[in-house]
Structure 1
Amino acid sequence: MARPQEFNTQQVLRKAMAVFWEKGYEATSLADLMAATALSKSSLYGSFGDKRDLFLAAFDIYRQDRKRDMIHLLSAEPAREGIVSFYKSLFANLDSATSHNGCMSVNQAVEMAPRDLRVKAMVVEDFQTIHEVLCLAIKRGQADGSVANLSEAEDIASILVLAFPGLQLMARIGAGAEAMTNNLNVLMAHLD
């Protein structure tokens, strides 16, 4: 008879996510994961499969959280405020201990996506989702008058999506709040 699971799966995945997010997939060892989750090797493998399977499940938790947060921020009225709030959230915690982690999806676009088709598909989906949700916010902004630029919403969203990883990387390498605010102001001028 199998022994009943004695841990909360979501909590374990969030702890694993934190390690993968901080160190990256390649630099994360089984010992790191065991220390973070307080689970044995057999419990980790028995419950989640191998390291890659655990990573994929943890990465998916990250993606769900970020999608929920993004949709919440971009639903603000007027729409321009939501767009600005979303982009400000990318560097809102410059002084926090995790600010150097950047966006896990951007990180994985570089680390794993070039050689792992599943991770690549997840990252592509993330960027498509960002584009779609921004497009809807821009259209709302054009309708409510908070976005004065009447170019195609898809084109404006494409510019904003292209800037997304750049802002993430600038924050990750330690650009200060003033520089980030200036970059954001230049980017948001595309809404005018």
Structure 2
Amino acid sequence: MAGTSLSDIMDATQLAKGCLYGNFDNKEEICLESFNFLTQRYAAELKAYLGAYPAGKARLLAYLDFSLQSKFRDENGGCPVINFGAEADDTNPVIRERVRQTIRGMQEMLKQMIADAVDLGEIKSSADPELLALKFYTMLEGAVLISRVENSNTQLEQITKLIQSEIEEISQ
């Protein structure tokens, strides 16, 4: 973001400066709204996908399947959490906070899916939903980043299989 000029944004959007500043106060607001748009779109697609699965282990495994689909990443230039998080870590506290909220929200969603599976007796009660959610989310995000750099889904597929295996190990 710090290295992105208004001219870069105008070129990418094919919009005039007046159009941009007629709708946004500054470049930071453009970046924040871009992040919000991308994450809301992702959340809507994820919610629709997961809605086809019952709560519990089936929904947790469906989340992994959704993570493997590269459609969203390919069509939107990658994972917005990784892209914006890497750019805003030191330079933009507003966007950094918004990325942090998104990460916490995703981890909370995973935690709830795991807790639901525990409540349904599908996963052992000794499982720690909060710790597993943190572990699974960070493994997936790391694999998404590596897959993007390598231009290959191989490591994302391997990490997904590892998580699936762990879910089977803690299943009842």
Q: Which bin holds the TM-score, normalised by the shorter protein? A: 0.7 to 0.9
Using the size of structure 1 for normalisation, the TM-score is 0.72
Counterpart in the other structure of 2:139: 163
Cα pair distance change 1:100/1:46, threshold 3 Å: closer
Pairs within 5 Å for 1:40-79: 40-75=16-51, 76-77=53-54, 79=56
Match of 1:56, SS state, is helix
Deviation per CA, 1:84-138, whole angstroms, max 9, x where unpaired?
A: 33233333127x9827932111122211122211111111101110111111111
Alpha-carbon RMSD across the aligned residues, in angstroms, is: 2.7
Does residue 54 of structure 2 align to residue 81 of structure 1? no
Q: Percent sequence identity over matched residues?
A: 19
Q: Counterpart in 2 of 1:132? A: 108
Aligned partner (choices 67, 87, 92) of residue 116 of structure 1: 92
Q: In structure 2, what is the Cα distance between the partners aligned to 1:150 and 1:99?
A: 40
Aligned to 1:10: none
Question: Does the 8 Å contact 1:100/1:172 carry over to 2?
Answer: no
Match of 2:126 in 1: 150
Q: SS at 1:66's partner residue?
A: helix
Work out the CA distance in 1 between the residues paired with 2:76 and 2:41.
19
What code does the residue aligned with 2:54 have? E
**Aligned in 2, Cα 1:189/1:138: closer, same or farther, shift over 3 Å?**
same
Residue in structure 2 matched with residue 20 of structure 1 by the alignment: none
Q: In structure 1, list runs of 5 or more residues that go unmatched.
A: 1-24
Unpaired runs of at least 5, structure 2: none
Show CA shifts across 1:142-180 (max 9, x none): 233443473121121121122132121122123644443
Work out whether residues 74 and 85 of structure 1, in 8 Å CA contact, stay in contact via their aligned partners in 2.
Answer: yes
Q: Helix, strand or coil for the counterpart of 2:150?
A: coil
Q: In structure 1, give the amino acid aligned to 2:60.
A: I
Amino acid at match of 2:86: V
Read off the aligned partner of 1:93 and give its amino acid letter.
S
> How far apart are 1:38 and its partner, in Å?
3.5
